[in-house]
Chains A and B, each alone.
Chain A
Amino acid sequence: AQSVAQPEDQVNVAEGNPLTVKCTYSVSGNPYLFWYVQYPNRGLQFLLKYITGDNLVKGSYGFEAEFNKSQTSFHLKKPSALVSDSALYFCAVRVNLPGYSSASKIIFGSGTRLSIRP
């Protein structure tokens, strides 16, 4: 079955340290991968995506993600964490709908709560 997994419910990092939020996927064909962030009491916001090209993609707020085909992973990273990065992060993947040549949908991981301590 096509799916996306975020193995960590919570990640705790000290401010100024690098952070990684993990994501693995299982899809047929070439994956289209996304990261979204949800700040407290705010809506979901798009951070970055991988469609094709360079394996390292850069997004909003200094975040980047590395696509690794052999490990079927798309981990979110930031070199130096800020307290304001504390939020709920979702990895997502586009999956094709069976029986449809062009229709697809986006499915989300269960989310990882990132907590940055001062």
Chain B
Amino acid sequence: QQPVQSPQAVILREGEDAVINCSSSKALYSVHWYRQKHGEAPVFLMILLKGGEQKGHDKISASFNEKKQQSSLYLTASQLSYSGTYFCGTEIPRSARQLTFGSGTQLTVLP
């Protein structure tokens, strides 16, 4: 089942903060975050593993609530380059590392 992302779209000014949420109905092993700009491939940002380990981008942070099967991506002091569509990909245990992606959150940062 596809994870649910919210909001679907957000517009903010440079320097403002944003939070993007990802929620799953299944018990998760890990959550992956990607940013995709128009016409380009998704770029890896962050992986959050069950048990709290986190690996990824040094200017973007994220959390993973294992009890609620929810993850949030925190974008602070946004830059113009942060614009794009953000996808979360979820991995369930014993799925041979298959990722199921949400439908995306479109983020637009204005000057």
A binds B: no
